[in-house]
Amino acid sequence: MLEQMQATMNKAIASGLSVPASAPPQKACVLDKALLDLNQIREDNRLELIELLESVPGSKKCLILDPQLGGRLNHVLVEGARVLRENGVVAFRELRAEIEDDFEQYVYLCRAYPPHMFAIAKHVKASVRAGKTDKRFHVFMIPRKTFICEQFLEDELVLPYVNTGDFHLDLVAFDADVLSLELESCFHDTKIRGDPTMLEFVVQSLLKLENFFGVPRRIRGLGPSAKGVLERLARQRHKMWVLKLRERGCYMFTGELLGAKPPPPMPAEDPEGDWELMVFDRAADLVTALVTPLTYEGLIDELVGIKNSCVKLPDQDGGSVETVALNSNDALYQEIRDLNVEGLGSTLGDRAKQIRGSYDNFRSNKDASITEIHDFVKQIPGLTRNYKSLQTHINIVEKIKETTDSRDFRDRWNTERSMLEGEQSADLEDLILQQIPPMMALRFLCLQSIVAGGIRKFDFFRREIIHSYGFELLPTLHNLEKAGLLTKKDSSWMTTEVPFATVRKQLRLIVDVDAINPDDISYVSSGYAPLSCRLLQVPWTPQLLQHLPGPAFDYRPFDFKREDLVDLMKTPSSRLFSPPTATEAPLSPGGGGGGGGGGSPAASPQKKKTTLVVYFVGGVTYAEIAALRFLSKQPAFPHNIIVATTNIVNGSTFIKGLVYEIENRLQRNNNNNTTTTTTTAAAAAAAAPSPSSSSSPT
């Protein structure tokens, strides 16, 4: 049909009609319809990057990118690399151990990771040894430079040759309702290493939101990391207020006297924004991170891998790899991305009939006037674009269905479901003995541990994992224990285990639902409602919160003085939690209705919905994003939701983030019988392929 449309367009051109060109696909999502003006964030990031490039002298600059950043820059520089070239960038390179080109100015954009500093130090040393003293190196770390990175450069004796700075690229808008920091190691760093740096990055991103949209009217939080974020946020607000007073010569908070001078005018108060904030610690709901999603977008990420809102697919000939943008620019994808896999076929079939019908109706009209022909020709670029999109998604769905219709996938879903319902899965031992991919085995083991409150045969399963997959998984098992994903049943010293059975019954997390015409968020996995999303549908009662980990917060910032809020945050007070009132509706018997989230009354048809930013610290899944979009569409739900997160995860990438890499030189290559080096990360990649991101903006 595509060829027929092209032939019609060629005839129209030959007859003198003007045909509009079809716009090329754009990787960056159009944000004009976002609930908040997210274009301000994108433009702020863009202008800062331009300022950084302008601060580097010269007209021949080599831009060296962290391999993980190229895809993110596509969502900042909507117009592509043209802006970079206009600011003196003549070459793009990927950050590697060696650099071969010869330029005067080298500009590095990289995350603040010591391994990147090691590569940069090698570049500088090679240049110094070669006697090329005219070269200049500029390192801009994302989202902020850290002391440890600068110390590393100093220890390598290259800091005098390097100009360091910040590139505050924190929140990137992947869609009109999805913002991400892309801090892949956030959960690992906060839970395993106890490093609060990632929480500081979250706080800085929240301050940026407040700078653009005002202070949220209401703030809620759940979990230890949420407490850390909100405590730091209150402290930063107070610190910024004191600095404003100092700038005006007022030192009343420091005990210094003003002398005979009259007190200076007080600075303007921070404006109250028309939005609310919910900070959610991933550790408060570990189950959802491990459950297999059954939405279209979730399955693409689970089976293929989505990176920077793009997926890499082989073309129809099976040759080169094609990068497909997955965002709301594609109207068809926006319609089907949150559908359960069971409803995809009928929806795609209906859209194919609509496109075919539009073309057939025109062809059947033999007496069409010039005006009608001209009107149809105007539609051809859109029809062509829709048809290509339809073909792309049909191909993806066919690949997905090959997996979801397989017996192995159904057995996997049944195993997960039996665990969620509280049964001790007898298949887990057999699956390990069958040597299923190691990340899948660990995923099942952690899920069983969380929902059952621990593993009874704890030592037995640890031993089976080591025997089946090698000793190099031993440190990984330790990390899983430390993060609270893997516990012993009778261990009384663990304080992070969640009594999942009680919460499951109290919140009706297991619900029978029509996956094609759902009335409950549990459709995202054909029966399990994400706990993190269900908590937005019910009042937060003390009876509920005692079964959830970490402190809970629910307060209005303008009800407290800044200094009082800082003190209250240090030791969580009941003043920072407003108990639900009697007017708030509980969860409906069907599971999907009900009232507001965390103590919000249900929205009436006359009352305007408020904008709620749900910030996940430690990662969010596409199943949760789909569930939150479903809630936003419900008339009784009082909020329109924007999802912000440190990163987007699925079960495999979540477990891989806790893997401790260790070399095993005892394993032999079966092909050439030579000693090889393998890591658990390589085994993880075999279990769940992770797509690579482009190294430069396009």
3-state secondary structure of 344: helix
Structure tokens at 450: 């969380």
Tell which of 338, 370, 405 closes a domain.
405
Query: Can you give the pLDDT at residue 214?
Result: 94
> Which domain range does residue 372 map to?
292-405
Q: CB–CB of 484/496 below 8 Å? A: yes
Kindly state whether residues 43 and 171 are assigned to the same domain. yes
> Is 595 contained in some domain?
no
Tell which of 132, 155, 175 closes a domain.
175
On the question of pLDDT at 591 being above 60, the answer is no
Query: Can you give the pLDDT at residue 673?
Result: 46
pLDDT band at 246 (very low <50, low <70, confident <90, very high): confident
Q: Identify the CATH number of the domain in which residue 401 sits.
A: 3.90.830.10
Bridge partners (DSSP) listed for residue 105: 61, 136
Residues 318-332 pLDDT 10s = 666 888 999 999 999
Query: Can you give the pLDDT at residue 688?
Result: 40
Q: Give CA–CA dist 554/222, Å, rounded.
A: 9
Q: Give CA–CA dist 478/221, Å, rounded.
A: 28
Count of the separate structural domains present in the chain:
2
Q: How many residues does the chain have?
A: 698
On the question of pLDDT at 692 being above 90, the answer is no
Please state, in angstroms and as integers, the Cα–Cα distance from residue 239 to each residue in 173, 253, 410, 440, following that order.
28, 11, 54, 46
What single-letter amino acid sits at 692?
Answer: S
Pairing of strands 321-325, 310-314: antiparallel
Residues 516-561 pLDDT 10s = 999 999 999 999 999 999 999 999 988 888 888 878 999 998 888 8
> Is 52 contained in some domain?
yes
> Is 570 contained in some domain?
no
Please state, in angstroms and as integers, the Cα–Cα distance from residue 435 to each residue in 31, 303, 367, following that order.
46, 19, 67
Residues 34-60 pLDDT 10s = 999 999 999 999 999 999 999 999 888
Q: CB–CB of 650/688 below 8 Å? A: yes
Query: Can you give the pLDDT at residue 100?
Result: 73
Rg (CA), the chain: 27
pLDDT band at 232 (very low <50, low <70, confident <90, very high): very high
Q: CB–CB of 291/420 below 8 Å? A: yes
pLDDT band at 573 (very low <50, low <70, confident <90, very high): low
Backbone CA torsion sign across 322, 327, 330, 334: positive
Residues 403-434 pLDDT 10s = 999 999 999 999 999 999 988 777 888 899 88
Q: Give CA–CA dist 365/371, Å, rounded.
A: 13
On the question of pLDDT at 695 being above 80, the answer is no
Residues 275-316 pLDDT 10s = 999 999 999 999 999 999 999 999 999 999 999 999 998 776
pLDDT band at 691 (very low <50, low <70, confident <90, very high): very low
Please state, in angstroms and as integers, the Cα–Cα distance from residue 687 to each residue in 304, 416, 622, 656, 667, following that order.
11, 17, 19, 10, 18
Q: Give CA–CA dist 64/73, Å, rounded.
A: 13
Proportion of the chain above pLDDT 70, given as a percent: 78
What single-letter amino acid sits at 250?
Answer: C
Averaged over 436-463, what is the pLDDT? 93
Find where tokens 């800085």 sit.
204
Tell which of 126, 155, 175 closes a domain.
175
User: Which of the residue ranges 9-18, 385-394, 659-668 would you say has the lowest mean pLDDT?
Assistant: 9-18
Q: Give CA–CA dist 176/167, Å, rounded.
A: 23
How far from chain centre, in Å, is Cα 598? Answer: 23
> Is 196 contained in some domain?
no
> Is 92 contained in some domain?
yes
pLDDT band at 464 (very low <50, low <70, confident <90, very high): very high
How many degrees, rounded to 5, is the angle at CA 497 between CA 492 and CA 499? 105
> Is 484 contained in some domain?
no
Q: CB–CB of 199/229 below 8 Å? A: yes
Kindly state whether residues 171 and 296 are assigned to the same domain. no
Residues 489-526 pLDDT 10s = 875 544 444 478 899 999 999 999 999 999 999 999 99
Question: Please, where are the H alpha helices in 343-455?
Answer: 344-364, 370-404, 407-420, 427-433, 438-452
How far from chain centre, in Å, is Cα 276? Answer: 20
On the question of pLDDT at 185 being above 80, the answer is yes
On the question of pLDDT at 371 being above 80, the answer is no
On the question of pLDDT at 175 being above 50, the answer is yes
Report pTM.
0.87
> Is 536 contained in some domain?
no
Q: Give CA–CA dist 337/622, Å, rounded.
A: 10
Averaged over 151-178, what is the pLDDT? 94
Averaged over 84-93, what is the pLDDT? 90
More confident residue, 167 or 378: 167
Averaged over 332-344, what is the pLDDT? 95
Query: Can you give the pLDDT at residue 530?
Result: 97
More confident residue, 687 or 487: 487
Q: Identify the CATH number of the domain in which residue 119 sits.
A: 3.40.50.2060
Averaged over 359-383, what is the pLDDT? 68
Averaged over 472-477, what is the pLDDT? 94
More confident residue, 534 or 134: 534
Query: Can you give the pLDDT at residue 511?
Result: 92
> Is 57 contained in some domain?
yes
Q: What mean pLDDT value characterizes the chain?
A: 83
Q: Give CA–CA dist 645/161, Å, rounded.
A: 36
Walk across the sheet containing 639-645 and list its strands.
Answer: 172-175, 178-180, 639-645, 610-617, 275-281, 218-222, 552-555
Torsion of CA 255, 258, 264, 268, to 10 degrees: -10
Q: For residue 513, is it left (φ>0), alpha (ψ between -120 and 50) or beta?
A: beta
On the question of pLDDT at 596 being above 60, the answer is no
